[in-house]
A and B are shown apart, each in its own frame.
Chain A
Amino acid sequence: MQADKVETDWAALVLRVRDHQDKAAFAALFRHFAPRVKAFLMKSGADAGLAEECAQDVMATLWQKAHLFDPTRASVATWVFTIARNRRIDALRKARRPEPEDLPWGPEPEPDQAEVFEAQQETDKLGQALAQLPDKQRALIERAFYGDLSHSEIATETGLPLGTIKSRIRLALDRLRQQMS
């Protein structure tokens, strides 16, 4: 595993883009994520030219929507994935995908560092668990996320530790509901 995955605080870089339009922070994010987004889109069936073009769009969207990123809810990788997924759906003319209702829990100006760390750790742990799955099972999950499977082909048992993530988000939602009522 590359050292930068565990040592770089990607969320802090996004916040520097958000607060200071920091081009150096953006460049670091770009160098890390753009090539992955490009690979992701090529696996989804885009040719190299389209994938490169769309990867630039995805990174430009990251800049433009930095104020919407909540690092206590999702890691940067997860957020970038959702932007890339939506770009893929548009670019490859896939089915329109309405989003759930927004919740009034917009990002805090000063997110709780422990929660940010937790969200990042979860993605790292998931990545490790994914890498340790039997090849066939891992390939099936990857293909689902590349948009290469229909819903009926998706295996319900992923073998991944999703319970902790679900519980953490559920608690945050319960807290939010209490504040709202």
Chain B
Amino acid sequence: MTIRHHLSDQLLMAYAAGDLPEAFNLVTATHVSLCDECRARLAAFEAVGGAVLQEADSVEMSDASLAACLDRIEQMPQATHRAPMRRAGCFPAPLAGYIGGGPESVKWRNLGAGVKQAILRTGRDASARLLYIPAGQAVPDHGHRGLELTLVLQGAFRDDADRFGPGDIEIADEAVEHTPVAEAGPACICLAATDAPLRFNALIPRLAQPFLRI
């Protein structure tokens, strides 16, 4: 997999620091699972966290705290080795964990013209959903408010300027207004997250928006 479109420093640092809404955390963790370049950049930002901790002031612990901590360790159950969630098809482990499996386990809802989506359960400050776009169909609602991340898991989409294939992430804000289309070949499956309600440019989807919870 040759990934050409990566996470921004801003997103990686926010993820390292624990500053992102859940939906963006999910997209970031999913991309990093596919992308060694971003995994290495993330490690560098986590090292900044280490340096912040190392340089931080300290606040004295109470006298009995070490003994209390050792007591706590004595009483802890043996670390249980939970089997980590595995990759399922084109879904890396963090996403597979949300779905409980791969693409075949998704409960899709039709949006028309073969396009399907599934909204994932995340915190309310941003929303995440999976999109399924047959070859030649437009990726829905690509005018943006706020920030929208779109991560390709299978297939590809392209607009006038660029192509996004498996593992690529599109980071779009207010400035972006375009109509990407799924490439010929297998249907394009994307994980998308946004921190604003999406705005539709076509009449029908606009009417449908309240019912689709997006």
Chain A binding surface SS class: helix
A165 touches B53 (CB 8 A): no
B48 touches A160 (CB 8 A): yes
For the complex, give the distance between the alpha carbons of A39 and B123 in Å: 28
B170 within 8 A of A: no
Residues of A within 8 A of B42 (CB): 100
Residues of A within 8 A of B49 (CB): 78, 81-82, 85, 145
A97 touches B69 (CB 8 A): no
A181 within 8 A of B: no
Known A39-B58, A147-B19: A96·B45 in contact at CB below 8 Å: no
Pick from A35, A145, A149, A163: contact of B58, CB under 8 Å: A35
A56 touches B11 (CB 8 A): no
Known A77-B51, A81-B50, A85-B18: A151·B10 in contact at CB below 8 Å: yes
Pick from B33, B45, B79, B97: contact of A162, CB under 8 Å: B45
For the complex, give the distance between the alpha carbons of A73 and B47 in Å: 10
Scoring B residues 34 to 49 as 1 if CB is less than 8 Å from chain A, else 0, what string do you get? 0011011111111111
Pick from A35, A38, A63, A81: contact of B73, CB under 8 Å: A63
A82 touches B19 (CB 8 A): no
Known A52-B62, A150-B19: A130·B13 in contact at CB below 8 Å: no
B148 within 8 A of A: no
For the complex, give the distance between the alpha carbons of A5 and B56 in Å: 12
Interface centre among B16, B25, B30, B46 (most CB of A within 10 A): B46
A98 touches B25 (CB 8 A): yes
User: B residues bordering A, Cβ < 8 Å?
Assistant: 8-11, 13-22, 24-26, 29-30, 32-33, 36-37, 39-62, 65-66, 68-70, 72-73, 76, 79, 84, 87, 92-94, 97-98, 122-123, 125, 147
List which A122-167 residues lie within 8 A (CB) of chain B: 122-124, 126-127, 129-131, 141-142, 144-147, 149-152, 154, 156, 158, 160, 162-163, 165-167
Pick from B53, B68, B122, B123: contact of A77, CB under 8 Å: B53
Residues of B within 8 A of A163 (CB): 44
Who on chain B is nearest to A37 by CB?
Answer: B53
Known A59-B69, A100-B33: A154·B13 in contact at CB below 8 Å: yes
Known A144-B17, A147-B19, A169-B44: A35·B51 in contact at CB below 8 Å: no
Residues of A within 8 A of B53 (CB): 33, 36-37, 40, 77, 80-81, 84, 145
Who on chain A is nearest to B125 by CB?
Answer: A95
Beyond known contacts A165-B43, A167-B40: 17 more, CB 8 A cutoff: A27-B66, A35-B59, A43-B56, A52-B61, A60-B69, A78-B50, A97-B20, A100-B33, A100-B93, A130-B51, A130-B52, A142-B56, A151-B14, A151-B20, A169-B43, A170-B36, A174-B36
With both chains docked as a complex, state the minimum distance between the C-beta of B59 and any C-beta of chain A, in angstroms. Answer: 4
Known A81-B49, A81-B53, A82-B46: A147·B18 in contact at CB below 8 Å: yes
A31 touches B25 (CB 8 A): no
User: A residues bordering B, Cβ < 8 Å?
Assistant: 5, 23, 26-27, 30-31, 33-40, 42-43, 48, 51-52, 55-57, 59-60, 63-65, 73-75, 77-82, 84-86, 88-89, 94-102, 122-124, 126-127, 129-131, 141-142, 144-147, 149-152, 154, 156, 158, 160, 162-163, 165-167, 169-170, 173-174, 177
